[in-house]
Structure 1
Amino acid sequence: MALEVVNKAAQERYATFKSAITLLQGVIDDQVRGTIAKVDDSKLPADAWSLPTSDDLKSLADKAVVVIEDLTATAKKYEADLIARGWRV
């Protein structure tokens, strides 16, 4: 009986984790990239503070996406292991 509760809790935590990753990917794709697209480097005065260019921001967003994809791949491998063990952690 207690094992079933632990298994359900592990499944719920993993589902929450997957939802958070999906939400993060959506935010990067929709909002972050949309904001980066609005950056206009030509309007910056020469004496302005040093700010990352839109290309720098795009590069950082791409790196973040790669890290998220690696995390997702690792999570899928771990999910297969959890399923094989009956969600026992």
Structure 2
Amino acid sequence: MQIDAVNRKARQKYASFVSAMDMVREALDNLTPVIAKVRKPSGSSGWTVPTREELAGLKRTATEELERLRAKSKKYEAELVSREWRL
């Protein structure tokens, strides 16, 4: 026996999760112009600043991890749909 409220809550939680992943993807996409503005540090103030290449690498890594998470969530979504969103 299914409880409709539980199924609805599962769909809502999954939708929130997908929405959060979309927001993170958008934020990562908006980093490109910011990374392009990074200049080499002038002088030695004792602070270390990541280079443009390091920042681009970090962005690439984060994007790849997000895509892996998205792929895993699609598999989980298929499982939830097959079980009619029962938890």
Q: TM-score normalised to the size of structure 1?
A: 0.90
After superposition, residues 7-86 of structure 1 pair within 5 angstroms as 7-30=7-30, 32-41=31-40, 44-48=41-45, 49-86=47-84
Q: Gapped runs of 5+ residues in structure 2?
A: none
Equivalent residue letter for 1:36: I
Structure 2 contact 35–55 (Cα < 8 Å) conserved: yes
Which of the pair is proportionally richer in helix? 1
Give aligned pairs, total.
Answer: 86
Q: Percent identity?
A: 37
The structure-2 alpha-carbon separation of the partners of 1:2 and 1:77, relative to structure 1 and needing over 3 Å to count, comes to: closer
Equivalent residue letter for 1:21: M
Runs of 4+ displaced beyond 6 Å: none
Indicate the RMSD between aligned Cα atoms, in angstroms. 1.4
